[in-house]
């Protein structure tokens, strides 16, 4: 029988949903022994760094109720090493990723997450995966660097600055292989600081311009925001459900819009929160 599992179990599992101590197999969210060890855990073993999966052996009774096993002698020492995770992105399906992938391979990156998606997309699944893995590996004590061909592959302006802030909070380094920000950047370095400042400045600029636009529109008698969907009956029902200590999501699921383009649909939890807040403010002002 392979001894891969003993190498994996020499480390604590860095997955917050598992956190199995050294000497024990990984566990599922339902308290069972996992069928496979979590990726973030077996990536800590150099010999298994490129493995797609490491199966939990029969001796650990996968699928059975999880129990903590005795820790091996010498366990609990902080993992060491340096993980270099790569990310490649193209905006359209017609664009090729080959040049980025070749550059990442030449830079010694062995694990690459890639996707063809616009920076305007609200979610980039592969980027979320690589950032999530970077956080977990760093939490286990491994030094981590996210390597990208050029900073534009991650995003622009406020999006890039927000991502840099996220990586800095997780103590994950950045490395750009080409472009204006070419080089390795430590989380405590100037690049993270500049990008964070850019994020704040851009947010303030957008906020100020938005408020100026709103004020200008009000002076001309224009209504700010979308069409209202609340009526007296909806507000009364929402107040009644709130008194029963129901969540905003549950309240929204029980309300129905009766007028306008959204007639017959449920309001969003955000709309319910705004409706209740405005009602409370008017009540306080009246009293």
Active site residue 140: no
Helix 157-169 and helix 125-139, axial crossing angle in degrees, nearest 10: 20
User: Edge-to-edge, what's the strand order for the sheet holding 173-176?
Assistant: 111-116, 82-90, 143-148, 173-176, 183-185
Give the position of tokens 């990156």: 109
Kindly report the three-state secondary structure assignment for every residue of 229-278: CCCHHHHHHHHHHHHCCCCHHHHHHHCCCCCCCCCCCCCCHHHHHHHHHH
C-beta of residue 87 within 8 angstroms of C-beta of residue 176 = no
Catalytic residue of the set 2, 17, 91, 287? 91
Can you tell me the distance from the alpha carbon of 227 to that of 210, in angstroms, rounded to the nearest whole number? 18
Q: Please, which residues have CB within 8 angstroms of residue 6's CB and are 6 or more apart in sequence?
A: none
Quote the longest CA-to-CA distance of the chain: 79
Can you tell me the distance from the alpha carbon of 184 to that of 181, in angstroms, rounded to the nearest whole number? 9
For the annotated catalytic residues, the residue numbers are 91
């Amino acid at each position: 029988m392979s001894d891969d599992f003993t190498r994996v179990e020499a480390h604590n599992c860095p997955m917050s949903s598992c956190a199995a101590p050294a000497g024990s197999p990984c566990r599922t969210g339902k308290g069972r022994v996992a069928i496979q060890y979590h990726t973030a855990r077996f990536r800590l073993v150099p010999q298994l760094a490129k493995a797609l999966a490491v199966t939990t052996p029969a001796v650990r009774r996968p699928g059975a109720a999880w129990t903590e096993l005795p820790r091996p002698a010498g366990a609990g020492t902080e993992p060491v090493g340096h993980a270099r995770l790569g990310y490649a992105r193209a905006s359209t399906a017609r664009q090729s990723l080959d040049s980025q992938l070749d550059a990442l391979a030449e830079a010694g990156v062995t694990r690459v997450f890639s996707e063809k998606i616009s920076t305007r997309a609200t979610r980039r699944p592969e980027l979320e995966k690589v950032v999530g893995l970077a956080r977990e590996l760093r939490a286990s004590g491994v030094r981590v660097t996210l390597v990208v061909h050029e900073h534009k592959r991650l995003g622009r302006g406020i999006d890039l600055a927000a991502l840099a802030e996220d990586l800095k909070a997780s103590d994950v380094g950045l490395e750009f292989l080409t472009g204006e920000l070419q080089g390795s950047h430590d989380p405590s370095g100037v690049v993270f600081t500049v990008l964070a400042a850019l994020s704040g400045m851009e947010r303030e600029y957008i906020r100020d311009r938005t408020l100026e636009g709103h004020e200008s529109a009000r002076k001309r008698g224009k209504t700010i925001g979308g069409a209202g969907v609340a009526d007296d009956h909806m507000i009364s029902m929402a107040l009644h459900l709130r008194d029963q200590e129901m969540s905003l999501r549950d309240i929204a699921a029980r309300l129905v819009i009766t007028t306008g383009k959204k007639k017959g649909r449920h309001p969003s939890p955000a709309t319910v929160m705004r409706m209740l807040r405005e009602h409370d403010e008017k009540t306080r002002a009246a009293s």
